[in-house]
């Protein structure tokens, strides 16, 4: 049953790809450079945001290091 679904999906995808029209577009090296810069900038932004909010993320998930919990309890009282 699963193999027949995969076969139908694969056949449909190949048939659909056969009807794709050419785009008649030109991408120069500057376009590729811009795309790479956007991707790398996005990854850097995600890394910085993750670093800034790492402890909050761990608290939200419920994972907290024992050292951090001990130092917070010592600082409070």
Torsion of CA 18, 20, 26, 28, to 10 degrees: -70
Write out pLDDT tens, residues 1-60.
Answer: 667 888 899 999 888 888 878 778 787 888 889 999 999 999 999 999 988 988 888 888
pLDDT, position 64: 74
pLDDT, position 46: 95
Q: Which pTM value belongs to this model?
A: 0.46
Write out pLDDT tens, residues 46-72.
Answer: 999 988 988 888 888 888 765 555 666
């Amino acid at each position: 049953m699963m193999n027949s679904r995969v076969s139908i999906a694969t056949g449909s995808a190949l048939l659909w790809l056969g009807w794709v029209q050419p785009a008649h577009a030109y991408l120069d090296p500057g376009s590729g450079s811009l795309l790479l810069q956007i991707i790398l900038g996005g990854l850097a932004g995600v890394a910085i945001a993750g670093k800034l909010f790492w402890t909050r993320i761990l608290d939200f998930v419920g994972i907290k290091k024992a050292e951090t919990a001990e130092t917070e309890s010592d600082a409070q009282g």
